[in-house]
Amino acid sequence: MRSAVVVGAGLGGMAVAGALARSGWRVTLLERADRVRPEPTAVVLWPNGVRALRALGLGAGLDAIATPLPDGGIRRPDGQWLVQPRPTPAERMPVVVHREDLHDALIAGLGDQVELRTGVGVRTVRAVPGERPAVGDGRHTFEADLVVAADGTDSEIRRQLAPETTVVSSGCAAWRAVIPWYRAPQLPADQSVHGETLGAGYRFVAASLGERGTAGASRRGGIYWVATAAGAPRPEPPEIQLALLKRWYAGWPAPIATLLEATDPADVVQQEIRELRPLPRAYGFGVGPGGVVLLGDAAHAMPPHLGQGACLAFEDAATLAGLLRESRLPDAVTGYDRLRRPRAATMVRQTRRMSAVLQTRGRLALRARDAALGTISPRMRSTAAAAAAAWQPPS
C-alpha cells in the first residue's frame, strides 16, 4: 500500500489527505496545533474551487452547506456605483460557506482511514536521493512514499526546499466575522447584504450565509463580512479594533454600520495579509522512488482580494489526487509541478493587479482609480473570473 504524510490539517491538507485515503493510500496527517480547529469565519468559493471539491468527491457535502453569492456590484464610500451589480450565470456564480461547515465536510471526508496526529510540529524534511522522503518533529521521524507540505504560509518544509522564497507583508490587514443567524440584523427589503465597497486603501465586503439549516442540516447561517485596510494589524484588544472599524467605515453605505454594530468583538478575527515573493521555483521534488510536494498557502500564499487561496489549495489537492490515480509516483510529482506552477503564477499575477487597484491612496490617484475602476475592474474581474473558471481537474 502506498503511503503519504500530509503536514498541516488546514483546508488544503484535509482535502488532500481525504482524497488520498479514498484512493487507497495509507495517510498520516500531522498537525502542529493541539486541536484541528476551523476559523469562525467564512470563505467564498469560486467555480474552480467548487469544481475541485467535486473532483475530490466532496460535492454532496458542499451542496449541503453552500449559499450562492449573487454579484452585489462595487460602490464607493459615498454610495455611488463604481460597478453595477450584474446577473451572473449559475455556472459562474461563487458560493459562500461557513468555514466550520466546510471543516465538518472535510473531516467527514477523512473517514477512518487517515491517522490524524495533533501536537506534531514538523521541523525537518529529508529529501535526499536514494532515500524515502521523511519529516520529523525532533522526536519522531515520519517516512512515506509521498510527503505533502500543506503547512501554510510559514511552511517549514518550503523554507528548507525552496529557500529562494520569502514571506512578505502585503501592506494591509483584514478583519473578518460571521454574525450568527440568531444575531443577524433584519435589513429593509430594498437593502442587499451582498456587495463590495471600495475607499482609499479600505474595502468592505459582505455576504449572506443564508438562514440556518435552509440547505442542509449542518448549515450555520448568518452574515459574513470582511474589512481590509492598508497598514499593519492593530495591537489593541478586539473591542477597540471593532470600535476602530466603526470609525473607519462610518458614513459608508448601508448596511455596513448595521453589520458592525451587530458584531460581537469576540467574533472578530484579525489577520495580517502576507504573500510569498517570489513563488517557489518548484512545487514538486522527486526524492528516491517518491517525492515531496508543496500545496496550498505553503506553495502560493497570496492576498485574498480575488478570494482564490482556498480555491487553489483545492485545485492543488484535486490535481495531485488525479495524477496519482493515473501515473506512477515520480511522474505524478513531475506532472503536479508542471501543472500547478503556471496556474498559481497566473492567479498570483491577477491578484497583484487587483491589490494595486485596491490599495490606491491619495486624492489624484484615487480619482484616476475611480475613473478607471468602472472600466478596468469589470475587465480585470472578468479576466480573473475567467482564469479561475477555466480550471479543469486532470481527466
Ligand X SMILES: Cc1cc2nc3c(=O)[nH]c(=O)nc-3n(C[C@H](O)[C@H](O)[C@H](O)COP(=O)(O)OP(=O)(O)OC[C@H]3O[C@@H](n4cnc5c(N)ncnc54)[C@H](O)[C@@H]3O)c2cc1C
Our CB check for ligand X shows the closer of 30 and 373 to be 30
Closest CA to 16 of 161, 141, 151, 142: 151
Determine if 275 is a binding residue for ligand X (CB under 6 A).
Answer: no
Residue 125 Cβ, how far from ligand X at the closest point, in Å?
10
Our CB check for ligand X shows the closer of 74 and 313 to be 313
Closest CA to 208 of 238, 227, 185: 185
> How far apart, in Å, are the Cα atoms of 215 and each of 108, 131, 311, 382?
18, 49, 21, 29
3 state DSSP class of 211 = coil
> How far apart, in Å, are the Cα atoms of 254 and each of 185, 211, 260?
12, 20, 11
At a CB cut-off of 8 Å and minimum separation 6, what does 392 contact?
Answer: 51
Determine if 255 is a binding residue for ligand X (CB under 6 A).
Answer: no
Residue 311 Cβ, how far from ligand X at the closest point, in Å?
4
Pattern 164-193, ligand X, x by CB under 6 A: ----------x-x-----------------
Determine if 101 is a binding residue for ligand X (CB under 6 A).
Answer: no
At a CB cut-off of 8 Å and minimum separation 6, what does 182 contact?
Answer: 212
Q: Which of 71, 101, 297, 337 binds ligand X (CB under 6 A)?
A: 297
Our CB check for ligand X shows the closer of 37 and 328 to be 37
Quickly count: other Cβ atoms within 10 Å of residue 115's Cβ.
14
Determine if 195 is a binding residue for ligand X (CB under 6 A).
Answer: no
Q: Where are the beta strands (DSSP E) in 155-268?
A: 166-180, 195-198, 202-208, 222-230
Determine if 313 is a binding residue for ligand X (CB under 6 A).
Answer: yes
Determine if 17 is a binding residue for ligand X (CB under 6 A).
Answer: no
Distance CA 391, CA 73 (A): 24
Our CB check for ligand X shows the closer of 75 and 158 to be 158
Q: Which residues pair with 149 in a beta bridge?
A: 7, 294
Q: Which of 2, 32, 54, 212 binds ligand X (CB under 6 A)?
A: 32
Residue 101 Cβ, how far from ligand X at the closest point, in Å?
14
Our CB check for ligand X shows the closer of 119 and 362 to be 119
Our CB check for ligand X shows the closer of 68 and 362 to be 68
Q: Which stretch binds ligand X (CB under 6 A): 3-11, 65-73, 364-372, 376-384?
A: 3-11
- What amino acid is encoded at 67 in this protein? T
Q: Which stretch binds ligand X (CB under 6 A): 61-69, 115-123, 209-217, 387-395?
A: 115-123
Determine if 320 is a binding residue for ligand X (CB under 6 A).
Answer: no
Determine if 146 is a binding residue for ligand X (CB under 6 A).
Answer: no
Determine if 10 is a binding residue for ligand X (CB under 6 A).
Answer: yes
Determine if 156 is a binding residue for ligand X (CB under 6 A).
Answer: yes
Q: Which stretch binds ligand X (CB under 6 A): 18-26, 28-36, 207-215, 385-393?
A: 28-36
Q: Which residues pair with 331 in a beta bridge?
A: none
Question: Which DSSP state fits 185?
Answer: P
Closest CA to 7 of 106, 154, 131, 196: 154
Our CB check for ligand X shows the closer of 20 and 298 to be 298
Please give the size of the binding site for ligand X, defined by CB under 6 A: 36
Residue 96 Cβ, how far from ligand X at the closest point, in Å?
8
Q: Which of 291, 296, 322, 335 binds ligand X (CB under 6 A)?
A: 296
Helices (H), the chain: 11-22, 47-55, 59-63, 99-110, 156-161, 238-248, 256-261, 297-300, 309-326, 329-358, 363-389
Determine if 198 is a binding residue for ligand X (CB under 6 A).
Answer: no
The secondary structure of the chain in percent helix, strand, coil, rounded to multiples of 5, reads: 40, 25, 40
Q: Give the gyration radius of the chain's Cα atoms.
A: 21
Our CB check for ligand X shows the closer of 221 and 304 to be 304
Q: Which of 150, 256, 321, 323 binds ligand X (CB under 6 A)?
A: 150
Residues in contact with ligand X by the rule CB under 6 A:
7-13, 30-33, 43-44, 49, 120-122, 150-152, 156, 174, 176, 226, 271, 273, 296-298, 304, 307-311, 313
